[in-house]
């Protein structure tokens, strides 16, 4: 298996570890985090200033920091680890479904039970969380988090840096503007402008 370094040791990291271990393509060599701990989730934790050292011997790194209020931290880390020369793979749970006619960008994780249907395009550094449904010809642009059990219907466009909450449903052909936040359990049937924050019906 190829060796990989994980960036971030919070709760989302544990979910990512489970998917990575299930996929059996990568061997996790450690976690990078500035928390004052040595071991987390059974793996050694190293300080962020260790990245340069690791880049000389480890080819792959993956961001395991979560994303809710905004994507700035994940986007910053994505640029940083590329600058250090790491490759950022896509991670796909073996108990998800990704159509051979779909496209998934580097740095994106497709978590357990998710369905990515034909013609869908998922950008870079996205989280497609457990049981999310991305329907045919939908487009999810870079640095988005599509939360658990949410439904992105056919031909929807979710523009970059956006968050779609758990069990939210986006009606077909709707466009979600950049940097938008859609709370959980909402049905969105109108286009949203950039920087929209939708908390209730």
Q: Is the dihedral of CA 46, 48, 54, 60 positive or negative?
A: positive
pLDDT at 196 (0 to 100): 97
Asked if the 2-83 domain carries CATH number 2.30.40.10, the reply is no
- The string of pLDDT tens digits covering residues 22-69 is 999 999 999 999 888 899 999 999 998 889 899 999 999 999 999 988
In the predicted model, is pLDDT for residue 126 greater than 90? Answer: yes
pTM of the model: 0.96
Task: Report residue 96's pLDDT band, with 50, 70 and 90 as the boundaries.
Answer: very high
DSSP lists the bridge partners of residue 98 as 116
pLDDT at 34 (0 to 100): 85
Q: Where exactly does CATH 2.160.10.10 map onto the chain? A: 91-201
Centre a 10 Å sphere on the Cβ of residue 36 and count the other Cβ atoms it contains.
Answer: 7
Q: What is the DSSP string of 103-162?
A: EE-TT-EE-TT-EE-TT-EE-SS-EE-TT-EE-TT-EE-TT-EE-TT-EE-TT-EE-TT-
pLDDT at 104 (0 to 100): 98
pLDDT at 4 (0 to 100): 98
In the predicted model, is pLDDT for residue 151 greater than 80? Answer: yes
pLDDT at 33 (0 to 100): 93
pLDDT at 200 (0 to 100): 87
In the predicted model, is pLDDT for residue 102 greater than 80? Answer: yes
Q: Where exactly does CATH 3.40.50.20 map onto the chain? A: 2-83
199 by Cβ neighbours in 10 Å (0-12 / 13-18 / 19+) ranks as exposed
Q: Which fold has domain 91-201?
A: UDP N-Acetylglucosamine Acyltransferase; domain 1 (2.160.10)
Q: For the stretch 158-178, what's the b/e string if a residue is b when 16 or more beta carbons lie within 10 angstroms of its beta carbon? A: bbbbbbbbbbbbbeeebbbbb
pLDDT at 35 (0 to 100): 80
8 Å CB contact between 125 and 144: no
Percent of the chain with pLDDT over 90: 93
In this prediction, residues 128-153 reach a mean pLDDT of 98
Selection from 134, 119, 137 nearest residue 169 by Cα: 134
In the predicted model, is pLDDT for residue 201 greater than 80? Answer: no
Average pLDDT, the chain: 96
Q: Which two tokens stand for residue 153?
A: 């219907």
């Amino acid at each position: 298996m190829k060796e990989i370094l994980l960036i971030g040791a919070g709760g989302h990291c544990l979910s990512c570890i489970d998917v990575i271990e299930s996929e059996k393509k990568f061997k996790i060599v450690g976690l990078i985090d500035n928390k004052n701990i040595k071991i987390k989730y059974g793996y050694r934790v190293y300080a962020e200033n260790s990245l340069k050292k690791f880049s000389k011997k480890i080819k792959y790194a993956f961001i395991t920091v979560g994303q809710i209020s905004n994507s700035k931290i994940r986007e910053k880390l994505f640029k940083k680890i590329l600058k250090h020369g790491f490759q950022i793979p896509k991670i796909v749970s073996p108990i998800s479904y990704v159509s051979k006619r779909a496209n998934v960008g580097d740095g994106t994780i497709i978590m357990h039970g998710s369905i990515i249907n034909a013609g869908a395009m998922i950008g870079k550094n996205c989280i497609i969380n457990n049981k999310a449904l991305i329907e045919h010809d939908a487009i999810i642009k870079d640095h988005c988090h599509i939360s658990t059990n949410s439904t992105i219907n056919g031909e929807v466009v979710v523009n970059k840096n956006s968050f779609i909450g758990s069990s939210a449903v986006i009606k077909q052909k709707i466009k979600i503007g950049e940097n938008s936040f859609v709370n959980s359990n909402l049905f969105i049937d109108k286009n949203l402008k950039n920087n929209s924050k939708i908390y209730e019906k």
